[in-house]
Amino acid sequence: MKYLIKLGFITLAGALFSANASASCTATLEANDMMQFNQKTLSFSKDCKEISIELKHVGKLPAQTMGHNVVVVDTANIQAVATDGMSAGIDNQYVKQGDERVYGYSKVIGGGETTTLTFATDKLKAGGDYSFFCSFPGHWAIMKGKLEFK
Ligand code: CO
């Protein structure tokens, strides 16, 4: 009897551990009609082979006027990537095609829509200085945060 209880505990501990491990490779981010993200930092384990960020636009305005996306870059590259993205236009999700400074980006969505960005982490280094931002014209200065990979 004692043995069975112990076995049950180990199974439970294992289930909790794996739930935590997968949770740290995914995140949910909300954006609204006030040009705001609801998180300043997204944290992921350096053990994640892939990162997934679910972006929910909880506002009502359409993508043409209050579009949001999520773009992951080195923090130092936010402004330059945003400027090139503006020129690329909405048909390219406001990201320059083939931009090698971009680790991953989602499509631009409007109010009530949800999209998920999933990208491989092979180019990220543990402890690097990474950020996420929205590349819709004029949004990058406010709509940004740190992406921790450690
Ligand atoms: Co935006």
Among the listed residues 40, 95, 33, the one whose alpha carbon sits nearest the alpha carbon of residue 65: 33
Span 12-25, average pLDDT? 54
Question: Residue 4: what pLDDT?
Answer: 53
Ligand 1 centroid vs 18 CA: distance in angstroms?
Answer: 34
Higher pLDDT, 100 or 6: 100
> Positive or negative, the Cα torsion across 133, 134, 135, 139?
negative
Output the six-digit token pair for 115: 């999209």
Place of tokens 């009530």: 112
Task: Express each pLDDT in 77-96 by its tens digit.
Answer: 999 999 999 999 999 999 99
**What average pLDDT does this structure show over 35-48?**
98
**Interval between CA 68 and ligand 1 midpoint (Å):** 4
Ligand 1 centroid to Cα of residue 144, in Å, is 9
Among residues 49, 36, 64, the alpha carbon closest in space to that of 121 is found at 49
| Residue 113 reports pLDDT greater than 50 | yes
pLDDT band per the 50, 70, 90 thresholds, residue 3: low
CA of 101 to the centre of ligand 1 (A): 19
Measured in degrees and rounded to the nearest 5, phi and psi for residue 50 equal -135, 150
Burial class (CB in 10 A: 0-12, 13-18, 19+), 101: middle
Whether pLDDT at 20 is above 60: no
Report CA(135)–ligand 1 centroid distance (Å): 7
Say if residue 14's pLDDT is above 50: no
Q: Which amino acid is at 111?
A: G
Residue 23 pLDDT more than 70? no
Check residue 18 and give its pLDDT: 47
- Place 19 in a pLDDT band, splitting at 50, 70 and 90: very low
User: What mean pLDDT do residues 58-67 have?
Assistant: 98
Tell me the one-letter amino acid at 125: K
CA of 83 to the centre of ligand 1 (A): 14
Distance from the first to the final alpha carbon of the chain: 42
How high is the mean pLDDT of the chain? 90
Predicted pLDDT at 24: 87
Ligand 1 mean position to 72 CA, how many Å?
14
Residue type, 38: N
Compute, in angstroms, the gap from residue 91 CA to the centroid of ligand 1. 15
Distance CA 82, CA 145 (A): 14
The H or E element spanning position 86 is: helix 78-88
| Beta strand 144-149 pairing with 41-44 | parallel
Q: State the distance from the centre of ligand 1 to the C-alpha of 17, rounded, in angstroms.
A: 35
